[in-house]
Structure 1
Amino acid sequence: MTQRDELVRFLKNARARIKPADVGLPDSDRRRTVGLRREEVAALTGMSVTWYTWFEQGRDVQLSAAMLEGLSKTFLLNPQEREFLFALAQHRPPPLAVPPDEVIHPITQHMLDGLNIPAQVITEDWTVIGWNRIVTKIFRDYAGRPASERNLFKILMLDERYRKNPEGFREMARRLTARFKWDYSRTTRIDVFDAIIQEMLKKSKTFEEFWYESEIVAHFEDVHTVNTSGFGDITVQHSSYAIEEAPGQRLILFVPVDDVSRERLAQVVLSES
Protein backbone atom coordinates (compact mmCIF):
# COMPACT_ATOMS: atom_id res chain seq x y z
CA MET A 1 0.00 0.00 0.00
CA THR A 2 1.46 3.33 -1.09
CA GLN A 3 0.31 6.89 -0.40
CA ARG A 4 -1.00 7.05 -3.95
CA ASP A 5 -3.08 3.91 -3.30
CA GLU A 6 -4.46 5.50 -0.16
CA LEU A 7 -5.29 8.68 -2.09
CA VAL A 8 -7.24 6.64 -4.68
CA ARG A 9 -9.20 4.84 -1.95
CA PHE A 10 -9.90 8.09 -0.11
CA LEU A 11 -11.21 9.86 -3.24
CA LYS A 12 -13.45 6.95 -4.23
CA ASN A 13 -14.91 6.69 -0.73
CA ALA A 14 -15.42 10.46 -0.52
CA ARG A 15 -17.23 10.47 -3.88
CA ALA A 16 -19.39 7.49 -2.95
CA ARG A 17 -20.67 8.92 0.32
CA ILE A 18 -21.99 12.21 -1.14
CA LYS A 19 -25.63 12.14 -2.18
CA PRO A 20 -26.47 14.30 -5.21
CA ALA A 21 -29.00 16.23 -3.12
CA ASP A 22 -26.21 17.15 -0.68
CA VAL A 23 -24.59 19.29 -3.37
CA GLY A 24 -27.72 20.57 -5.08
CA LEU A 25 -28.05 17.95 -7.81
CA PRO A 26 -31.26 16.08 -8.65
CA ASP A 27 -31.43 12.59 -7.21
CA SER A 28 -33.01 9.61 -8.92
CA ASP A 29 -33.69 6.00 -8.06
CA ARG A 30 -32.43 5.07 -11.51
CA ARG A 31 -28.87 6.20 -10.80
CA ARG A 32 -26.44 3.31 -11.12
CA THR A 33 -23.60 5.11 -9.35
CA VAL A 34 -23.47 5.26 -5.57
CA GLY A 35 -22.78 8.83 -4.66
CA LEU A 36 -21.56 11.26 -7.30
CA ARG A 37 -20.40 10.47 -10.81
CA ARG A 38 -16.91 11.50 -11.81
CA GLU A 39 -18.27 14.02 -14.31
CA GLU A 40 -20.38 15.57 -11.55
CA VAL A 41 -17.36 15.90 -9.29
CA ALA A 42 -15.42 17.51 -12.13
CA ALA A 43 -18.21 19.96 -12.92
CA LEU A 44 -18.73 20.95 -9.28
CA THR A 45 -15.01 21.41 -8.75
CA GLY A 46 -14.32 23.26 -12.01
CA MET A 47 -11.92 20.84 -13.68
CA SER A 48 -12.05 18.56 -16.71
CA VAL A 49 -13.53 15.08 -16.38
CA THR A 50 -10.34 13.59 -17.82
CA TRP A 51 -8.14 15.38 -15.31
CA TYR A 52 -10.23 14.30 -12.32
CA THR A 53 -10.49 10.73 -13.63
CA TRP A 54 -6.72 10.48 -13.93
CA PHE A 55 -6.30 11.95 -10.46
CA GLU A 56 -8.74 9.45 -8.92
CA GLN A 57 -7.07 6.59 -10.78
CA GLY A 58 -3.76 7.47 -9.17
CA ARG A 59 -1.98 8.65 -12.27
CA ASP A 60 0.94 11.04 -11.93
CA VAL A 61 -0.99 14.31 -12.21
CA GLN A 62 -0.67 17.32 -9.93
CA LEU A 63 -3.61 19.40 -8.78
CA SER A 64 -3.21 22.99 -7.65
CA ALA A 65 -4.14 24.06 -4.13
CA ALA A 66 -7.22 25.78 -5.59
CA MET A 67 -8.38 22.52 -7.20
CA LEU A 68 -7.81 20.60 -3.98
CA GLU A 69 -9.81 23.25 -2.13
CA GLY A 70 -12.56 22.75 -4.69
CA LEU A 71 -12.54 18.99 -4.12
CA SER A 72 -12.67 19.55 -0.36
CA LYS A 73 -15.84 21.61 -0.79
CA THR A 74 -17.40 19.22 -3.31
CA PHE A 75 -16.82 16.26 -0.99
CA LEU A 76 -17.89 18.26 2.11
CA LEU A 77 -14.66 17.30 3.87
CA ASN A 78 -14.17 18.20 7.51
CA PRO A 79 -10.93 19.98 8.51
CA GLN A 80 -9.09 16.73 9.30
CA GLU A 81 -10.14 15.13 5.99
CA ARG A 82 -9.15 18.28 4.09
CA GLU A 83 -5.70 18.20 5.68
CA PHE A 84 -5.44 14.48 4.91
CA LEU A 85 -6.24 15.15 1.23
CA PHE A 86 -3.58 17.85 0.95
CA ALA A 87 -1.01 15.67 2.71
CA LEU A 88 -1.59 12.77 0.34
CA ALA A 89 -1.79 14.89 -2.81
CA GLN A 90 0.90 17.52 -2.15
CA HIS A 91 2.83 16.12 0.85
CA ARG A 92 2.30 19.37 2.78
CA PRO A 93 -0.36 20.94 5.01
CA PRO A 94 -3.15 22.90 3.32
CA PRO A 95 -3.38 26.70 3.46
CA LEU A 96 -4.98 28.19 6.55
CA ALA A 97 -8.65 27.20 6.45
CA VAL A 98 -9.94 28.94 9.57
CA PRO A 99 -11.61 32.24 8.69
CA PRO A 100 -9.16 35.00 9.58
CA ASP A 101 -9.72 37.01 12.74
CA GLU A 102 -10.10 40.63 11.65
CA VAL A 103 -10.83 42.06 15.10
CA ILE A 104 -8.22 42.19 17.81
CA HIS A 105 -9.11 40.29 20.97
CA PRO A 106 -9.48 42.48 24.09
CA ILE A 107 -6.82 40.50 25.98
CA THR A 108 -4.35 41.03 23.12
CA GLN A 109 -5.02 44.78 23.11
CA HIS A 110 -4.59 44.82 26.88
CA MET A 111 -1.19 43.17 26.46
CA LEU A 112 -0.16 45.74 23.82
CA ASP A 113 -1.14 48.58 26.14
CA GLY A 114 0.98 47.12 28.93
CA LEU A 115 4.20 46.97 26.90
CA ASN A 116 6.93 49.63 27.06
CA ILE A 117 7.98 49.03 23.47
CA PRO A 118 6.09 49.67 20.21
CA ALA A 119 3.83 46.75 19.32
CA GLN A 120 1.07 46.19 16.80
CA VAL A 121 -1.06 43.38 15.40
CA ILE A 122 -1.74 42.73 11.72
CA THR A 123 -4.08 40.33 9.96
CA GLU A 124 -3.18 37.79 7.31
CA ASP A 125 -3.31 40.43 4.56
CA TRP A 126 -1.19 42.89 6.63
CA THR A 127 -4.04 45.15 7.77
CA VAL A 128 -3.17 46.74 11.13
CA ILE A 129 -5.97 46.06 13.63
CA GLY A 130 -4.26 46.76 16.96
CA TRP A 131 -1.47 49.00 18.26
CA ASN A 132 -0.32 50.73 21.40
CA ARG A 133 0.16 54.45 21.99
CA ILE A 134 3.93 54.16 21.52
CA VAL A 135 3.31 53.11 17.91
CA THR A 136 1.12 56.19 17.49
CA LYS A 137 3.91 58.38 18.88
CA ILE A 138 6.87 57.13 16.83
CA PHE A 139 5.32 55.57 13.71
CA ARG A 140 1.82 56.74 12.79
CA ASP A 141 -1.68 57.11 14.18
CA TYR A 142 -3.86 54.38 12.68
CA ALA A 143 -6.98 55.54 14.51
CA GLY A 144 -7.78 58.20 11.94
CA ARG A 145 -7.43 55.83 9.00
CA PRO A 146 -10.12 53.52 7.64
CA ALA A 147 -9.18 49.83 7.49
CA SER A 148 -8.59 50.14 3.73
CA GLU A 149 -5.72 52.57 4.46
CA ARG A 150 -4.15 50.56 7.28
CA ASN A 151 -2.45 47.91 5.16
CA LEU A 152 1.11 47.84 6.49
CA PHE A 153 2.58 46.36 3.33
CA LYS A 154 1.21 49.17 1.16
CA ILE A 155 2.23 51.82 3.69
CA LEU A 156 5.83 50.61 3.84
CA MET A 157 6.09 50.25 0.07
CA LEU A 158 4.40 53.52 -0.92
CA ASP A 159 5.03 56.06 1.85
CA GLU A 160 7.68 58.58 0.75
CA ARG A 161 9.24 58.72 4.21
CA TYR A 162 10.78 55.28 3.61
CA ARG A 163 12.40 56.35 0.34
CA LYS A 164 14.80 58.90 1.80
CA ASN A 165 17.56 56.29 1.69
CA PRO A 166 17.11 54.70 -1.77
CA GLU A 167 19.50 51.82 -1.14
CA GLY A 168 17.94 51.02 2.23
CA PHE A 169 14.45 51.24 0.76
CA ARG A 170 15.25 48.78 -2.03
CA GLU A 171 16.60 46.27 0.46
CA MET A 172 13.52 46.67 2.66
CA ALA A 173 11.18 46.41 -0.34
CA ARG A 174 12.94 43.29 -1.60
CA ARG A 175 12.52 41.48 1.70
CA LEU A 176 8.99 42.74 2.31
CA THR A 177 7.90 41.51 -1.10
CA ALA A 178 9.55 38.13 -0.53
CA ARG A 179 7.59 37.77 2.74
CA PHE A 180 4.35 38.97 1.14
CA LYS A 181 4.85 36.34 -1.56
CA TRP A 182 5.16 33.67 1.15
CA ASP A 183 1.91 34.83 2.76
CA TYR A 184 0.20 34.78 -0.64
CA SER A 185 1.17 31.14 -1.13
CA ARG A 186 -0.57 30.15 2.11
CA THR A 187 -3.73 32.23 2.06
CA THR A 188 -7.26 31.09 1.30
CA ARG A 189 -8.23 34.75 0.71
CA ILE A 190 -6.73 34.80 -2.75
CA ASP A 191 -9.08 37.52 -4.00
CA VAL A 192 -7.96 39.90 -1.25
CA PHE A 193 -4.28 39.32 -1.99
CA ASP A 194 -4.85 39.53 -5.75
CA ALA A 195 -6.43 42.97 -5.32
CA ILE A 196 -3.42 44.20 -3.32
CA ILE A 197 -0.99 42.73 -5.84
CA GLN A 198 -2.75 44.36 -8.79
CA GLU A 199 -2.83 47.71 -7.02
CA MET A 200 0.86 47.49 -6.15
CA LEU A 201 1.83 46.50 -9.70
CA LYS A 202 0.21 49.71 -10.90
CA LYS A 203 1.64 51.97 -8.20
CA SER A 204 5.16 50.66 -7.57
CA LYS A 205 7.84 49.76 -10.11
CA THR A 206 9.97 48.52 -7.23
CA PHE A 207 7.27 46.07 -6.18
CA GLU A 208 6.83 44.94 -9.78
CA GLU A 209 10.56 44.26 -10.06
CA PHE A 210 10.76 42.16 -6.91
CA TRP A 211 7.38 40.43 -7.31
CA TYR A 212 8.55 38.72 -10.47
CA GLU A 213 11.72 37.47 -8.83
CA SER A 214 11.84 34.07 -7.15
CA GLU A 215 12.96 35.05 -3.64
CA ILE A 216 10.71 33.95 -0.78
CA VAL A 217 11.10 34.77 2.92
CA ALA A 218 9.10 32.80 5.50
CA HIS A 219 10.03 34.99 8.50
CA PHE A 220 10.87 38.66 8.25
CA GLU A 221 13.10 40.46 10.74
CA ASP A 222 14.83 43.78 10.19
CA VAL A 223 16.52 46.75 11.85
CA HIS A 224 15.57 50.29 10.97
CA THR A 225 15.89 53.79 12.35
CA VAL A 226 12.90 56.01 13.04
CA ASN A 227 13.25 59.79 13.30
CA THR A 228 10.88 60.88 16.07
CA SER A 229 9.77 64.44 16.62
CA GLY A 230 11.33 65.77 19.80
CA PHE A 231 13.26 62.61 20.70
CA GLY A 232 15.68 62.06 17.81
CA ASP A 233 16.54 58.85 15.98
CA ILE A 234 15.51 55.54 17.54
CA THR A 235 16.87 52.32 16.03
CA VAL A 236 14.71 49.25 16.56
CA GLN A 237 14.73 45.62 15.55
CA HIS A 238 11.34 44.12 14.74
CA SER A 239 10.09 40.57 14.52
CA SER A 240 6.63 39.01 14.23
CA TYR A 241 4.92 36.16 16.05
CA ALA A 242 1.72 34.20 15.41
CA ILE A 243 -1.09 34.69 17.91
CA GLU A 244 -2.27 31.22 18.86
CA GLU A 245 -5.91 32.01 19.62
CA ALA A 246 -6.35 34.19 16.51
CA PRO A 247 -5.34 32.35 13.32
CA GLY A 248 -4.01 34.71 10.71
CA GLN A 249 -3.02 37.46 13.15
CA ARG A 250 0.61 38.38 13.83
CA LEU A 251 2.09 40.36 16.68
CA ILE A 252 4.95 42.67 15.67
CA LEU A 253 7.35 43.83 18.38
CA PHE A 254 9.90 46.65 18.00
CA VAL A 255 12.89 46.45 20.38
CA PRO A 256 15.56 49.19 20.67
CA VAL A 257 18.99 47.90 19.68
CA ASP A 258 21.33 50.22 21.57
CA ASP A 259 21.54 52.30 24.76
CA VAL A 260 20.77 55.60 23.04
CA SER A 261 17.66 54.16 21.40
CA ARG A 262 16.54 52.55 24.68
CA GLU A 263 16.93 55.86 26.51
CA ARG A 264 15.04 57.80 23.86
CA LEU A 265 12.27 55.22 23.71
CA ALA A 266 11.97 55.43 27.50
CA GLN A 267 11.49 59.19 27.13
CA VAL A 268 8.72 58.54 24.61
CA VAL A 269 7.02 56.16 27.09
CA LEU A 270 7.28 58.71 29.90
CA SER A 271 5.78 61.39 27.68
CA GLU A 272 2.75 59.14 27.21
CA SER A 273 2.20 58.64 30.95
Structure 2
Amino acid sequence: MAHREELSRFLKSARARLSPADAGLPPGERRRTKGLRREEVAALAGMSVTWYTWFEQGREVHLSVPMIERLGRTLRLDATEREFLFALAQHRPPPLETQIDEEIRPATQHMMDSLSIPALVIVEDWTVIGWNALVARTFRDYDQLPRSKRNLFKILMLEDRYRVDPDSFRAMGQRLVARFKWDYSRTSKPEIFDEIIAEMMEHSELFRECWQESEILPYFEHVNIAVMPDVGDIGFWHSSYAVEGAPGQRLILFAPIDKASAERLARLNDMALDR
Protein backbone atom coordinates (compact mmCIF):
# COMPACT_ATOMS: atom_id res chain seq x y z
CA MET A 1 0.00 0.00 0.00
CA ALA A 2 3.02 2.31 0.28
CA HIS A 3 2.92 3.18 -3.41
CA ARG A 4 -0.78 4.07 -3.11
CA GLU A 5 -0.02 6.38 -0.19
CA GLU A 6 2.74 8.03 -2.21
CA LEU A 7 0.40 8.38 -5.20
CA SER A 8 -2.11 10.14 -2.93
CA ARG A 9 0.52 12.52 -1.56
CA PHE A 10 1.86 13.24 -5.06
CA LEU A 11 -1.55 14.07 -6.54
CA LYS A 12 -2.54 16.27 -3.61
CA SER A 13 0.73 18.16 -3.88
CA ALA A 14 0.38 18.63 -7.65
CA ARG A 15 -3.20 19.83 -7.23
CA ALA A 16 -2.28 22.23 -4.42
CA ARG A 17 0.39 24.05 -6.43
CA LEU A 18 -2.06 25.05 -9.20
CA SER A 19 -4.23 28.13 -8.92
CA PRO A 20 -7.56 28.54 -10.76
CA ALA A 21 -5.84 31.06 -13.03
CA ASP A 22 -3.20 28.45 -13.94
CA ALA A 23 -5.99 26.19 -15.19
CA GLY A 24 -7.89 28.96 -16.98
CA LEU A 25 -10.63 29.10 -14.33
CA PRO A 26 -12.13 32.23 -12.74
CA PRO A 27 -10.89 32.89 -9.19
CA GLY A 28 -14.38 32.56 -7.74
CA GLU A 29 -15.04 32.91 -4.02
CA ARG A 30 -12.38 32.87 -1.36
CA ARG A 31 -10.90 29.42 -0.88
CA ARG A 32 -10.09 27.80 2.42
CA THR A 33 -7.18 25.85 0.94
CA LYS A 34 -4.79 26.70 -1.86
CA GLY A 35 -4.82 25.00 -5.21
CA LEU A 36 -7.53 23.40 -7.30
CA ARG A 37 -10.44 21.49 -5.87
CA ARG A 38 -10.87 17.81 -6.67
CA GLU A 39 -14.00 18.47 -8.71
CA GLU A 40 -12.11 21.04 -10.79
CA VAL A 41 -9.29 18.62 -11.55
CA ALA A 42 -11.82 15.93 -12.46
CA ALA A 43 -13.74 18.24 -14.80
CA LEU A 44 -10.60 19.49 -16.52
CA ALA A 45 -9.32 15.93 -16.99
CA GLY A 46 -12.66 14.60 -18.26
CA MET A 47 -13.16 12.26 -15.30
CA SER A 48 -15.96 11.78 -12.81
CA VAL A 49 -15.41 13.39 -9.43
CA THR A 50 -15.90 10.04 -7.72
CA TRP A 51 -13.23 8.29 -9.79
CA TYR A 52 -10.71 11.06 -9.30
CA THR A 53 -11.41 11.23 -5.56
CA TRP A 54 -10.91 7.49 -5.18
CA PHE A 55 -7.75 7.63 -7.28
CA GLU A 56 -6.32 10.47 -5.21
CA GLN A 57 -7.24 8.66 -2.00
CA GLY A 58 -5.10 5.73 -3.10
CA ARG A 59 -7.90 3.26 -3.60
CA GLU A 60 -7.51 0.40 -6.10
CA VAL A 61 -8.82 2.41 -9.04
CA HIS A 62 -7.28 1.56 -12.40
CA LEU A 63 -7.29 4.38 -14.93
CA SER A 64 -6.62 3.93 -18.64
CA VAL A 65 -3.49 5.35 -20.24
CA PRO A 66 -5.41 8.22 -21.95
CA MET A 67 -7.05 9.15 -18.64
CA ILE A 68 -3.70 9.28 -16.87
CA GLU A 69 -2.30 11.36 -19.74
CA ARG A 70 -5.18 13.83 -19.44
CA LEU A 71 -4.69 13.99 -15.68
CA GLY A 72 -0.99 14.68 -16.14
CA ARG A 73 -1.71 17.54 -18.55
CA THR A 74 -4.34 18.97 -16.21
CA LEU A 75 -1.86 18.95 -13.32
CA ARG A 76 0.85 20.36 -15.61
CA LEU A 77 3.31 17.60 -14.83
CA ASP A 78 6.72 17.74 -16.44
CA ALA A 79 8.33 14.72 -18.12
CA THR A 80 9.85 13.39 -14.89
CA GLU A 81 6.59 13.82 -12.95
CA ARG A 82 4.64 12.17 -15.77
CA GLU A 83 6.92 9.15 -15.56
CA PHE A 84 6.56 9.11 -11.78
CA LEU A 85 2.76 9.18 -12.05
CA PHE A 86 2.73 6.20 -14.41
CA ALA A 87 5.14 4.30 -12.18
CA LEU A 88 2.88 4.80 -9.17
CA ALA A 89 -0.40 4.21 -11.01
CA GLN A 90 0.54 1.37 -13.37
CA HIS A 91 3.98 0.16 -12.22
CA ARG A 92 5.49 0.87 -15.63
CA PRO A 93 6.95 3.72 -17.65
CA PRO A 94 4.58 5.94 -19.62
CA PRO A 95 4.02 5.09 -23.29
CA LEU A 96 6.12 6.84 -25.86
CA GLU A 97 4.31 9.85 -27.24
CA THR A 98 3.33 9.15 -30.83
CA GLN A 99 2.59 11.51 -33.68
CA ILE A 100 -0.75 10.82 -35.33
CA ASP A 101 -0.12 9.80 -38.93
CA GLU A 102 -2.17 12.22 -41.03
CA GLU A 103 -1.11 11.00 -44.47
CA ILE A 104 -2.10 7.80 -46.19
CA ARG A 105 0.65 5.49 -47.37
CA PRO A 106 0.92 4.75 -51.10
CA ALA A 107 0.72 1.01 -50.34
CA THR A 108 -2.52 1.47 -48.40
CA GLN A 109 -4.04 3.52 -51.21
CA HIS A 110 -2.93 0.92 -53.77
CA MET A 111 -4.52 -1.86 -51.74
CA MET A 112 -7.84 0.01 -51.56
CA ASP A 113 -7.75 0.72 -55.29
CA SER A 114 -7.31 -3.02 -55.92
CA LEU A 115 -10.44 -3.98 -53.97
CA SER A 116 -13.82 -4.65 -55.55
CA ILE A 117 -15.65 -3.15 -52.54
CA PRO A 118 -15.74 0.41 -51.15
CA ALA A 119 -12.91 1.22 -48.74
CA LEU A 120 -11.72 4.35 -46.98
CA VAL A 121 -9.25 5.39 -44.29
CA ILE A 122 -9.95 7.80 -41.47
CA VAL A 123 -7.61 9.26 -38.87
CA GLU A 124 -8.23 9.58 -35.16
CA ASP A 125 -10.67 12.48 -35.35
CA TRP A 126 -12.62 10.71 -38.16
CA THR A 127 -11.25 12.85 -41.00
CA VAL A 128 -11.20 10.85 -44.24
CA ILE A 129 -7.71 10.85 -45.77
CA GLY A 130 -8.01 8.08 -48.37
CA TRP A 131 -10.69 6.27 -50.37
CA ASN A 132 -11.16 4.24 -53.52
CA ALA A 133 -13.31 4.89 -56.57
CA LEU A 134 -16.19 2.75 -55.29
CA VAL A 135 -16.56 5.01 -52.26
CA ALA A 136 -16.96 7.97 -54.61
CA ARG A 137 -19.59 6.07 -56.62
CA THR A 138 -21.64 4.73 -53.71
CA PHE A 139 -21.32 7.36 -50.96
CA ARG A 140 -19.58 10.62 -51.89
CA ASP A 141 -16.59 11.87 -53.81
CA TYR A 142 -14.25 13.16 -51.12
CA ASP A 143 -11.99 14.55 -53.81
CA GLN A 144 -14.59 17.31 -54.27
CA LEU A 145 -14.38 18.27 -50.59
CA PRO A 146 -11.61 20.22 -48.87
CA ARG A 147 -9.96 18.34 -46.02
CA SER A 148 -11.78 20.48 -43.46
CA LYS A 149 -15.11 19.13 -44.79
CA ARG A 150 -14.12 15.44 -44.83
CA ASN A 151 -14.91 14.60 -41.21
CA LEU A 152 -17.01 11.45 -41.44
CA PHE A 153 -18.59 11.91 -38.02
CA LYS A 154 -19.88 15.40 -38.84
CA ILE A 155 -21.02 14.32 -42.30
CA LEU A 156 -23.11 11.45 -40.96
CA MET A 157 -24.55 13.45 -38.08
CA LEU A 158 -25.32 16.69 -39.91
CA GLU A 159 -26.19 15.94 -43.56
CA ASP A 160 -29.91 16.04 -44.34
CA ARG A 161 -29.75 12.91 -46.51
CA TYR A 162 -29.41 10.75 -43.38
CA ARG A 163 -32.46 12.27 -41.67
CA VAL A 164 -35.11 10.98 -44.08
CA ASP A 165 -36.07 8.15 -41.70
CA PRO A 166 -36.07 9.63 -38.16
CA ASP A 167 -35.90 6.23 -36.46
CA SER A 168 -32.96 5.04 -38.55
CA PHE A 169 -31.19 8.35 -38.08
CA ARG A 170 -31.58 8.19 -34.32
CA ALA A 171 -30.28 4.62 -34.19
CA MET A 172 -27.30 5.55 -36.37
CA GLY A 173 -26.59 8.66 -34.31
CA GLN A 174 -26.60 6.68 -31.06
CA ARG A 175 -24.07 4.20 -32.49
CA LEU A 176 -21.85 6.94 -33.87
CA VAL A 177 -21.76 8.96 -30.66
CA ALA A 178 -21.15 5.82 -28.59
CA ARG A 179 -18.12 4.99 -30.76
CA PHE A 180 -16.95 8.62 -30.84
CA LYS A 181 -17.02 8.69 -27.02
CA TRP A 182 -14.89 5.54 -26.96
CA ASP A 183 -12.33 7.12 -29.29
CA TYR A 184 -12.33 10.28 -27.17
CA SER A 185 -11.68 8.28 -23.99
CA ARG A 186 -8.66 6.54 -25.52
CA THR A 187 -6.91 9.40 -27.26
CA SER A 188 -3.80 10.97 -25.77
CA LYS A 189 -4.68 14.15 -27.67
CA PRO A 190 -8.25 15.05 -26.61
CA GLU A 191 -7.83 18.56 -27.95
CA ILE A 192 -8.35 17.24 -31.50
CA PHE A 193 -11.86 16.18 -30.46
CA ASP A 194 -12.79 19.29 -28.49
CA GLU A 195 -13.54 21.47 -31.51
CA ILE A 196 -15.76 18.77 -33.04
CA ILE A 197 -17.62 18.27 -29.77
CA ALA A 198 -18.22 22.02 -29.41
CA GLU A 199 -19.52 22.26 -32.98
CA MET A 200 -21.81 19.27 -32.55
CA MET A 201 -23.16 20.62 -29.27
CA GLU A 202 -24.15 23.76 -31.14
CA HIS A 203 -25.62 22.22 -34.29
CA SER A 204 -26.99 18.76 -33.39
CA GLU A 205 -29.78 18.15 -30.92
CA LEU A 206 -29.31 14.39 -31.30
CA PHE A 207 -25.62 14.70 -30.46
CA ARG A 208 -26.39 16.73 -27.33
CA GLU A 209 -28.84 14.08 -26.22
CA CYS A 210 -26.60 11.09 -26.98
CA TRP A 211 -23.51 12.70 -25.44
CA GLN A 212 -25.28 12.66 -22.06
CA GLU A 213 -25.95 8.94 -22.31
CA SER A 214 -23.59 6.37 -20.82
CA GLU A 215 -23.41 4.03 -23.83
CA ILE A 216 -20.01 3.43 -25.41
CA LEU A 217 -19.11 1.25 -28.37
CA PRO A 218 -15.57 -0.19 -28.64
CA TYR A 219 -15.97 -1.43 -32.21
CA PHE A 220 -17.02 0.05 -35.53
CA GLU A 221 -19.31 -2.21 -37.51
CA HIS A 222 -22.92 -2.27 -38.66
CA VAL A 223 -25.16 -2.56 -41.72
CA ASN A 224 -25.88 0.48 -43.87
CA ILE A 225 -27.83 0.97 -47.08
CA ALA A 226 -26.62 2.98 -50.07
CA VAL A 227 -29.50 4.35 -52.14
CA MET A 228 -28.50 3.89 -55.77
CA PRO A 229 -31.26 4.86 -58.24
CA ASP A 230 -29.43 3.41 -61.25
CA VAL A 231 -28.96 -0.13 -59.90
CA GLY A 232 -31.11 -0.37 -56.76
CA ASP A 233 -30.27 -0.10 -53.07
CA ILE A 234 -27.07 -1.78 -51.95
CA GLY A 235 -26.74 -3.13 -48.42
CA PHE A 236 -23.27 -3.08 -46.87
CA TRP A 237 -21.80 -4.57 -43.74
CA HIS A 238 -19.01 -2.23 -42.69
CA SER A 239 -16.19 -2.90 -40.27
CA SER A 240 -12.95 -1.13 -39.39
CA TYR A 241 -9.35 -2.20 -38.84
CA ALA A 242 -6.26 -0.44 -37.50
CA VAL A 243 -3.62 0.28 -40.11
CA GLU A 244 -0.42 -1.27 -38.79
CA GLY A 245 2.41 1.20 -38.29
CA ALA A 246 0.16 4.23 -38.89
CA PRO A 247 -0.96 5.55 -35.48
CA GLY A 248 -4.54 6.76 -35.44
CA GLN A 249 -5.47 5.45 -38.90
CA ARG A 250 -8.44 3.11 -39.37
CA LEU A 251 -9.39 1.27 -42.55
CA ILE A 252 -13.15 0.89 -43.10
CA LEU A 253 -14.35 -1.79 -45.51
CA PHE A 254 -17.88 -2.07 -46.92
CA ALA A 255 -18.85 -5.61 -47.96
CA PRO A 256 -22.21 -6.39 -49.65
CA ILE A 257 -24.57 -8.09 -47.21
CA ASP A 258 -26.15 -10.47 -49.72
CA LYS A 259 -25.99 -11.75 -53.29
CA ALA A 260 -28.37 -9.12 -54.64
CA SER A 261 -26.28 -6.32 -53.16
CA ALA A 262 -23.10 -7.85 -54.55
CA GLU A 263 -24.63 -8.04 -58.03
CA ARG A 264 -25.79 -4.42 -57.85
CA LEU A 265 -22.36 -3.27 -56.72
CA ALA A 266 -20.73 -5.15 -59.61
CA ARG A 267 -23.22 -3.58 -62.03
CA LEU A 268 -22.47 -0.14 -60.63
CA ASN A 269 -18.75 -0.74 -61.12
CA ASP A 270 -19.29 -1.96 -64.68
CA MET A 271 -21.36 1.14 -65.51
CA ALA A 272 -18.53 3.36 -64.28
CA LEU A 273 -15.95 1.48 -66.35
CA ASP A 274 -18.07 1.82 -69.48
CA ARG A 275 -18.11 5.60 -69.21
1:30-89 CA distances to partner (integer Å, 9 max, x unpaired)? xxxxxxxx77x94699694998xxx9xx85288963232467951347xxx85x844742
- Counterpart in 2 of 1:256? 256
* Partner SS, residue 142 of structure 2: coil
> Structure 2 CA distance, aligned partners of 1:221 and 1:170?
16
Q: Partner letter of residue 58 of structure 2?
A: D
Q: Is the 8 A contact 2:220 2:240 kept in 1?
A: yes
- Counterpart in 2 of 1:35? none
> Structure 2 CA distance, aligned partners of 1:91 and 1:199?
38
- Counterpart in 2 of 1:175? 175
> Structure 2 CA distance, aligned partners of 1:50 and 1:155?
39
- Counterpart in 1 of 2:41? none
- Root-mean-square deviation (CA, aligned residues, Å) is 3.6
- Counterpart in 2 of 1:68? 72
> Structure 1 CA distance, aligned partners of 2:73 and 2:230?
52
> Structure 2 CA distance, aligned partners of 1:207 and 1:175?
11
- Counterpart in 2 of 1:22? none
Q: Tell me the TM-score normalised to structure 1 length.
A: 0.74
Q: Partner letter of residue 208 of structure 2?
A: E
CA distance 1:96–1:117, change in 2 (3 Å): farther
Q: Partner letter of residue 243 of structure 1?
A: V
> Structure 2 CA distance, aligned partners of 1:49 and 1:163?
44
> Structure 1 CA distance, aligned partners of 2:256 and 2:3?
50
> Structure 2 CA distance, aligned partners of 1:99 and 1:154?
23
CA distance 1:93–1:149, change in 2 (3 Å): farther
> Structure 2 CA distance, aligned partners of 1:70 and 1:254?
40
- Counterpart in 1 of 2:185? 185
CA shift for structure 1 position 240: 0.6
> Structure 2 CA distance, aligned partners of 1:205 and 1:50?
32
* Partner SS, residue 248 of structure 2: coil
CA distance 1:267–1:125, change in 2 (3 Å): same
Aligned residues: 239
Q: Partner letter of residue 199 of structure 1?
A: E
CA distance 1:95–1:253, change in 2 (3 Å): farther
Q: Partner letter of residue 165 of structure 1?
A: D
Q: Partner letter of residue 211 of structure 2?
A: W
Q: Partner letter of residue 256 of structure 1?
A: P
Q: Is the 8 A contact 1:95 1:188 kept in 2?
A: no
CA distance 1:144–1:212, change in 2 (3 Å): same
- Counterpart in 1 of 2:227? 227
> Structure 2 CA distance, aligned partners of 1:174 and 1:50?
33
The structure with more radius of gyration: 1
> Structure 2 CA distance, aligned partners of 1:179 and 1:198?
17
* Partner SS, residue 255 of structure 1: strand
* Partner SS, residue 236 of structure 1: strand
Of 120-129 and 222-231, deviating more is 222-231
1:155-186 CA distances to partner (integer Å, 9 max, x unpaired)? 00011111111111100000100000111111
Q: Partner letter of residue 178 of structure 1?
A: A
- Counterpart in 1 of 2:163? 163
CA shift for structure 1 position 147: 1.1
CA distance 1:232–1:88, change in 2 (3 Å): farther
Q: Is the 8 A contact 2:7 2:58 kept in 1?
A: no
Of 236-245 and 41-50, deviating more is 41-50
Matched, 1:237 2:237: yes
Q: Tell me the TM-score normalised to structure 2 length.
A: 0.74
* Partner SS, residue 144 of structure 2: coil
CA distance 1:93–1:156, change in 2 (3 Å): farther
- Counterpart in 2 of 1:134? 134
CA distance 1:93–1:260, change in 2 (3 Å): farther
- Counterpart in 2 of 1:32? none
